[in-house]
Amino acid sequence: MTHPDTGLRADPGSFRDPTNRVFHRDGEVLRGLDDRATADWRALAGSGFFRALLTEGKVCGTEEVAATPPWSATLRHERIPFVSHPYEWSFGMLRDAALLHLDVLRAALDGGFTTKDGSAYNLQWRGAAPVFIDVGSFEPLREGEPWAGYRQFCQTLLYPLLLQAHLGVDFQPWLRARVDGIEPDQMRRFFGGARRLLPGVLTHVHLHGAMQRRNSRATTTDVRAQLRDAGYSRELAAATVRGIEKLVRRLDRPPGGSHWSDYQRTCGYSAQDRLAKERFVEEAVAGVDTPALALDLGANDGRYARIAARHAGYVVAVEQEPAVVDALYRALRAEGQRRILPLVMDLADPSPGGGWRGVERAGFADRTRADVVLALAVVHHLAIGRNVPLAAVVDQLANLGAPGAALVVEFVHPEDPMARRLLANKPDGLFPDYRRDAFERLLAARCRIIRRAELPSGTRTLYQAVVGG
Amino acid sequence: MHLAYLDAGSGSLIVQAVVGGVAGAAVAAKLYWRRLVARFRRQPTDQR
Ligand SMILES: C[S@@+](CC[C@H](N)C(=O)[O-])C[C@H]1O[C@@H](n2cnc3c(N)ncnc32)[C@H](O)[C@@H]1O
């Protein structure tokens, strides 16, 4: 969708607020502002709170550049290394994203500003650190008005957190299925009876829903005026935000463990195997010339993502188990890791495109052109566990890499105890092609194999290959 | 009138007063009281 004359490409995810739009030019992330947004930006750029947020890294780097017509002003933003969506985050990630949003809002309110919206999509990640990206969302505060973004905040941040913290329901499918998040009217059905008394539920879910129903015919213009007349103040707005923040801090029940949480203890690897594998992976990644993006598929506790991060600019660690990702996120956050992004995703059901025309939120494949793809002890899960034809698995691994990318893949032989366990759940002889020689042939058809190694246990083979080579 | 691009939701605006502690609840009460008074004031003319 690049414009032939100007080289500008409108960002398909940026259209909801017509006063400012994100577009791309020569790999730069730019934001065009109309007259009104320009006035807001000038005020914002001169404010102390905004400079402090930038310095603290809470808001993505932003500077004004020469205006691109037809916009009155143009901003250039720091590039986020890998764009992710809230339904790919773990509970801890969504919670930290929510806390950052509230933190940014509180700073804005203190500085006489507010944010126009409150969406989870206002946030992105630099590794395990959230960052507020929607600089177009700041506007001067109008005295006497509550936060316009509260409803969005509830639907895309608070409600998903309540579902997980109070009921143990994974929130990701809800956010993935509904671009605007969960409505109060749906939420309240989860929280009947005594559950009404769980923190935050009575007010933010039931009362909120009831107020919406009772005021469905009142316009927001009228209600804003009524609230102002009744004495709603800036202090009240700040108190409300503090209250929500206190609630979100209380919602810290990490999701329960999963079968995979204990993988490193139960994986059946010998120490020798692990050492050989670590060395192989390290050498493979180190051999790539300044890889910008590495993917670790089936990342589990991130052991190999960390090895990749020694050499790659950025690593995306994909793992299907939300609890495993959450544990990884918490560990990375504690380490202050800024170059490994953990994501919840099932490789057999990767994020599709979502929102308007299915492009507002880009699907995983459209966002991913990695320079290194690690697929370690995961092929058997797809080929045996999920019945994906081996050729299709190999194709997909190659497709996630840019041409010339390094693919590091571990093939678990059908005789390996872990593969045998998966095979035991399927009828005998269902996967006659799940063999080492067949795998190698398929890999060679898509890639150039440059190195292979047998692990000491004798039932696993590592390959290093060049995509399309 | 400066309107937001996002429909903030009328109920979502009011409920924020209610969750804002005692002072907020007072604002919400005042809003409802005024609505009630306005309705009674209107009624005689409405019924003509
Ligand atoms: C055998 S472990 C391998 C972990 C690590 N890559 C290693 O080599 O030590 C397999 C991991 O892949 C994850 N996994 C299995 N199927 C998956 C899928 N369809 N999508 C994403 N992750 C998956 C599991 O949850 C588990 O953490």
Establish if A3 belongs to a structural domain. no
A29 and A158 assigned to the same domain: no
Q: For residues A237 and A117, state if they share a domain.
A: yes
- Residue A150 CA neighbour count, 13 Å, CB half: 31
| Mean pLDDT in residue range A241-267 | 76
The domain total for chain A is 3
How many Å lie between the centroid of ligand 1 and the Cα of residue A411?
A: 13
Residue A336 sits in the same domain as residue A449: yes
Average pLDDT over residues A390-416: 96
What's the domain range around B35? 14-47
- Find the CB nearest A203 among B6, B13, B18: B18
CATH number of the domain to which A428 belongs: 3.40.50.150
Question: From CA A246, how far away is CA A200, in angstroms rounded?
Answer: 10
Domains contained in chain B, number:
1
Residue A299 has pLDDT above 80, yes or no: yes
Residue A286 domain-assigned (yes or no): yes
Let me know if residue A69 belongs to a domain.
yes
**Domain final position from A23, A52, A77:** A77
Strand partners, A114: A139
Q: What's the domain range around A61?
A: 9-77
- A301 and A239 within one domain: no
- In this predicted structure, what is the pLDDT of residue B19? 84
pLDDT for A103-122, tens place per residue? 999 999 999 999 999 999 99
Predicted model pTM: 0.94
Per the CB < 8 A criterion, the answer to whether A295 and A321 are in contact is no
pLDDT in tens, A415-455: 999 999 999 998 888 888 999 999 999 999 999 999 999 99
Q: What is the pLDDT of residues A221-239, one digit of tens each?
A: 999 999 999 999 999 999 9
Helix (H) and strand (E) counts in chain A: 19, 16
> Which residues, 6+ apart, have CB-to-CB distance to A42 below 8 Å?
A73
Give me ligand 1 centre to Cα A352, in Å. Answer: 20
B47 to chain A, closest Cα gap in Å: 22
Q: Answer yes or no: do A228 and A283 share one domain.
A: no
Q: Residues near ligand 1 with C-beta < 6 Å?
A: A 260, 263, 267, 298-300, 303-304, 318-321, 324, 346-348, 376-378, 381-382
In which band, very low, low, confident or very high, does the pLDDT at A242 lie, cut at 50, 70 and 90? Answer: very high
Same domain for A399 and A450, yes or no, is: yes
Q: Is residue A358 part of a domain?
A: yes
* Whole-number pLDDT of residue A367: 94
Find residue A449's DSSP bridge partners. Answer: A465
SS3 content of chain A, % helix, strand, coil (to 5): 45, 20, 35
Q: How far is the CA of A319 from the centre of ligand 1 (A)?
A: 6
Give the mean model confidence (pLDDT) for residues A307-323: 97
> Is B4 inside a domain boundary?
no
Residues 138-177, chain A, touching B (beta carbon < 8 A): 142, 145-152, 154
The mean predicted confidence, pLDDT, of chain A is 93
Q: Ligand 1, atom 3: nearest CA belongs to which residue?
A: A377
The whole-number mean pLDDT for each consecutive block of 10 residues of chain B, a chain of 48 residues, reads: 72 89 85 85 58
Question: pLDDT value at position A252?
Answer: 86
The verdict on residue B40 lying in a domain is: yes
Q: If you search the block for the tokens 């991130």, which residue do you land on?
A: A302
pLDDT exceeds cutoff 90 at A255:
no
Ligand 1 centre from A358 Cα, in Å? 28
Based on the domain organization, do A308 and A400 belong to the same domain? yes
Residue A4, in any domain of the structure? no
Nearest-CA distance B37 → chain A (Å): 13
Of all residues in chain B, the one with the smallest CA distance to A20 is B5
CB-based contact A222 B10, cutoff 8 Å = yes
Best mutation target, A34, A159, A180, A211, to test chain B (most B CBs within 10 A): A211
Q: What is the mean pLDDT of residues A319-345?
A: 97
Does residue A187 sit in the same domain as residue A49?
A: no
Are A221 and A350 contained in the same domain?
no
Assess if residue A2 is contained within a domain.
no
Nearest neighbour of A148 by CB, restricted to B4, B21, B34: B4
Same-domain pairing of A130 and A191: yes
pLDDT at position A262 over 70: no
